[in-house]
Amino acid sequence: MPFLRILPWNEICEGVSGDTLLETALECGIPLPHECGGEANCTTCSLLILEEARGLSKPEDLEIETLIKLMPKRDPRTRLACQAVFTDDFDGHVEALSLSGR
């Protein structure tokens, strides 16, 4: 079963295979910003992945293009929470830092 912890909220959320990190955070009550509604058109839901178990989806073209365009000097561990998905073989937890703050 996947788990997610996003700092600075420091709350542990239970995830579901196939859900994005954004969906998991919102379901858990974490008010993670997402101005574009989860369409990968902004970076307000960006997370710095601090620790990851195997099985988180790889970035797809849309996510990569958005990050290159809007965050060209980002840390390579940066992901858009609206695009990063818990896969069927996810094992463990993800710990991340919200780059947009509270």
Torsion of CA 95, 55, 67, 60, to 10 degrees: -160
What DSSP element (H or E) covers 64? helix 61-70
Asked if residue 84 lies in contact with residue 45, where contact means CB atoms within 8 angstroms, the answer is: no
Q: What is the pLDDT, as a whole number, of residue 90?
A: 79
Question: What is the 8-class DSSP label of residue 51?
Answer: E
Tens digit of pLDDT for each residue in 4-62?
A: 999 999 999 999 999 999 999 999 999 999 999 999 999 999 999 998 767 789 999 99
What domains does the chain contain, in order, with CATH numbers? 3-98 (3.10.20.30)
